[in-house]
């Protein structure tokens, strides 16, 4: 069932224009929510977010924890029979929340997501050790997290799962091209990373 809104410039229209996704074409089959690795801990499941957009529930959406938890993995789009890219909508909702000064209580996942994207931008690929260390530092729980890794780290070295070459990040040959992709995306998003 489609709901058409009469407002001159509705939340639905703004999100569709900014994301390039046709929110009203969602079948509400819930496959995006079923595939999302975080939907069970979100305050609103992905398909519910789409319905909330249609009904103009802006305050609830922009203050939600769910929009901050999306890690842009693309599982939602892979599951969607209509080819809808939910993460594009989540990116727009996050940007709107930031622009309009909404405060989220979910901080850990956005921090880790930014660290991950920074690693890819700077090295052309993700570096696991840097990701772990930077994430531990950003969360302010370095001592606790390092203590938890002590039983895991040395056996990984001893069994050859990890070597000393894995400790320092290595840039790929095309790293400059990857950095350029990030710059282009930031320009397309009006300077918002």
Domain ranges of the chain: 11-99, 108-188
Per the CB < 8 A criterion, the answer to whether 60 and 115 are in contact is no
Asked if 125 contacts 85 with a C-beta cutoff of 8 angstroms, the reply is no
Lookup: tokens for 83: 């080819």
Q: What is the reported pLDDT for 123?
A: 85
32: tokens are: 């995006």
42 CB burial (10 A radius; 0-12, 13-18, 19+): buried
Amino acid 187: pLDDT:
82
Average pLDDT over residues 18-41: 90
Stronger pLDDT, 189 or 95, i.e. the higher one: 95
- Does 163 score more than 90 pLDDT? no
Task: Check whether 192 has a pLDDT greater than 50.
Answer: yes
Q: What is the mean pLDDT of the chain?
A: 84
Distance CA 114, CA 93 (A): 16
51-77 pLDDT, tens digit each: 999 999 999 999 998 998 888 888 888
Question: Which run of H or of E encompasses 66?
Answer: helix 66-69
Q: What is the pLDDT of residues 81-101, one digit of tens each?
A: 988 899 899 999 999 998 999
Give the per-residue pLDDT at 190.
65
Nearest to 119 by CA among 172, 74, 192: 172
Most confident of 38-52, 124-138, 175-189: 38-52
Structure tokens at 169: 């990040």
Mean pLDDT of 147-168: 78
């Amino acid at each position: 069932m489609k709901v058409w809104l009469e407002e001159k410039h509705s939340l639905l229209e703004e999100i569709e224009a900014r994301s390039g996704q046709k929110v009203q074409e969602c079948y509400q089959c819930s496959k995006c929510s079923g595939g999302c690795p975080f939907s069970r801990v979100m305050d609103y499941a992905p398909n519910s977010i789409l319905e909330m957009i249609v009904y103009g529930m802006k305050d609830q959406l922009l203050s939600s924890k769910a929009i901050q938890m999306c890690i842009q993995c693309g599982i939602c789009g892979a599951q969607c029979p209509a080819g809808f890219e939910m993460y594009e909508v989540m990116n727009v909702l996050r940007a709107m929340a930031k622009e309009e000064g909404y405060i989220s209580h979910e901080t850990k996942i956005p921090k880790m997501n930014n660290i991950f994207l920074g690693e890819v931008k700077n090295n052309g690929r993700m570096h696991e050790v840097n990701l772990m260390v930077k994430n531990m530092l950003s969360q302010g729980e370095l001592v606790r997290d390092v203590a938890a890794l002590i039983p895991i780290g040395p056996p990984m070295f001893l069994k050859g799962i990890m070597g000393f070459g894995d400790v320092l990040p290595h840039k790929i040959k095309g790293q400059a091209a990857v950095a350029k992709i990030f710059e282009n995306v930031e320009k397309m998003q009006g300077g918002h990373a």
